[in-house]
Every structure is written in C-alpha cells, then in structure tokens.
C-alpha cells in the first residue's frame, strides 16, 4: 500500500464527486453536440477533419470515467484517467491563453452559456487533477459503517454546492462586459440559472 493512500471515506468522496462532475460534463456536451464542436474548433489544437472524432472520444472518455469511478476493480484506473483528462483540458486552455486567445469559449459551461477562458480555469483543473490523482491509490482496507456512508453523501453534496458556487463566481468575474441591449441584470440572472442547473442536474 502506498504511503499516499487515502482513507476509504475521503477517497470515496473524491471519486463520487468527480463522477458527478464528469457525468454532468458529458451530458451538457451531448445536449448540444454542434455547440461543443464549435467550442472545440475554437481551441485550434486539433485539425478540422479530426474535430468530430476527437470530440466523440472526449465525450466517451468522460462517460467511461464517470462510470468507472464507481466500479471497484477499475476505479483506480478511472481516477488516473480523470487526472489525465483534467490536465489535458487545463493544457488546452493554457496554450490558448499564452497565444493571447482569451475570448474563445471554454466549452465548459454548457450550450446555454458562452464563457471565455482564463487562468482560473487552469488552476481549477489543476486542483481537480490533484484530487483525482490522490484518490487513485487503494486505501487501507477497512469495513465501512453507516456513519461512513452518511459522511460520504453529505460531503459529496457539500462539494457539489461549493463547486457550483465557485463556478458561478468564475463565470461572473471572467465574463466580458455586456454589449448594447444585453443588460447586466439579465446576464447575472442567466448565470444564476446556470448555477441552479448544475445543482439540480
């Protein structure tokens, strides 16, 4: 057993929260595949003919990771895959920021909202990747009790709320000024609706 292995409870919390995150990410891409393709093309990192198959591979990877994190025999592999995918997303954002292409849509806010990329997204993905990697090693074997189950459920719900709140703050702070006739109140309401959508699935 590795010295870095977590106790089963925090390990389960991280894996369950990541599973929810990847499942949500996959479903919002599937809700509007055309919008996701446009967002992917905006990164200008994949040749145009490869955009569709590459996008399909990303969605399949997210679905596979979301399911695999719940499967005992492959959960560690899924956690490593989650680490790699999160780092890949962070790398793609960082490359375009360095290029000065800050106005492109990150593709991470769903089809209902366009969000420009920023270093906060890179940092967020780094934190999530670190958590995913920490959960990859098998923890010390022990019997889980009902109290552990309640702790895991409460912690996952709390993390989802915290993630949605942080996501909403990044959307507000990173959003460009509204154009004529858009109305800042309407934009704020749209972002609030987006946060509620995350919380309620």
> How far apart are the C-alpha atoms of 62 and 89, rounded to whole Å?
12
Number of structural domains the chain divides into: 1
SS3 114: coil
Q: Is 105 among the domain residues? A: yes
Does the residue 166 lie in any domain? no
Could you list the residue range(s) of the whole structural domain that residue 68 is in? Answer: 8-143
Tell me what pLDDT residue 137 has.
Answer: 84
Q: Is 190 a domain residue?
A: no
Q: Kindly report the CA angle at 166 between 114 and 93, in degrees rounded to 5?
A: 50
pLDDT for the residue numbered 82: 97
Q: Is residue 23 part of a domain?
A: yes
By C-alpha distance, which of 129, 106, 131, 109 is closest to 194? 109
Cα angle 107, 66, 108 (rounded to 5 degrees) comes to 10
Residue 52 in domain? yes
- Compute the distance between CA of residue 124 and CA of residue 117 in angstroms, rounded to an integer: 12
Report whether 134 contacts 76 (CB < 8 A). no
Is 129 inside any structural domain?
yes
With contact defined as beta carbons under 8 Å apart, do 163 and 156 qualify? Answer: no
The DSSP call for residue 195 is H
Residues in the chain predicted with pLDDT less than 70, given as ranges, are 1-5, 109-112, 170-201
pLDDT, residue 174, reads 56
pTM: 0.77
Residue bearing tokens 């019997």: 143
Rounded to whole angstroms, the Cα distance separating 66 from 23 reads 5
Asked whether residue 171 is domain-assigned, the answer is: no
Backbone angles phi, psi at 31, to 5 degrees: -65, -30
Give a yes or no: residue 61 inside a domain: yes
């Amino acid at each position: 057993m590795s010295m870095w292995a977590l106790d089963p409870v925090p390990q389960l919390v991280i894996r369950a929260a990541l599973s929810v995150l990847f499942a949500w990410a996959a479903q919002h891409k599937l809700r509007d595949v055309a919008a996701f393709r446009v967002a992917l093309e905006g990164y200008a990192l994949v040749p145009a003919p490869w955009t569709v198959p590459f996008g399909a591979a990303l969605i399949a990877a997210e679905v596979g990771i979301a399911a695999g994190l719940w499967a005992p025999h492959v959960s560690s592999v899924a956690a490593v895959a989650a680490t790699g995918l999160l780092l890949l997303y962070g790398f793609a954002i960082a490359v375009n920021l360095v290029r000065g292409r800050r106005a492109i849509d990150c593709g991470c806010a769903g089809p209902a909202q366009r969000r420009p990329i920023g270093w906060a997204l890179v940092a967020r993905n780094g934190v999530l990747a670190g958590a995913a990697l920490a959960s990859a090693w098998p923890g010390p074997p022990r019997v889980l009790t009902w109290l552990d189950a309640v702790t895991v459920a409460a912690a996952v719900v709390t993390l989802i709320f915290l993630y949605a709140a942080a996501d909403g703050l990044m959307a507000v702070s990173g959003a460009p000024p509204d154009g004529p006739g858009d109305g800042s109140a309407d934009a704020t309401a749209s972002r609030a609706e987006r946060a509620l959508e995350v919380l309620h699935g």
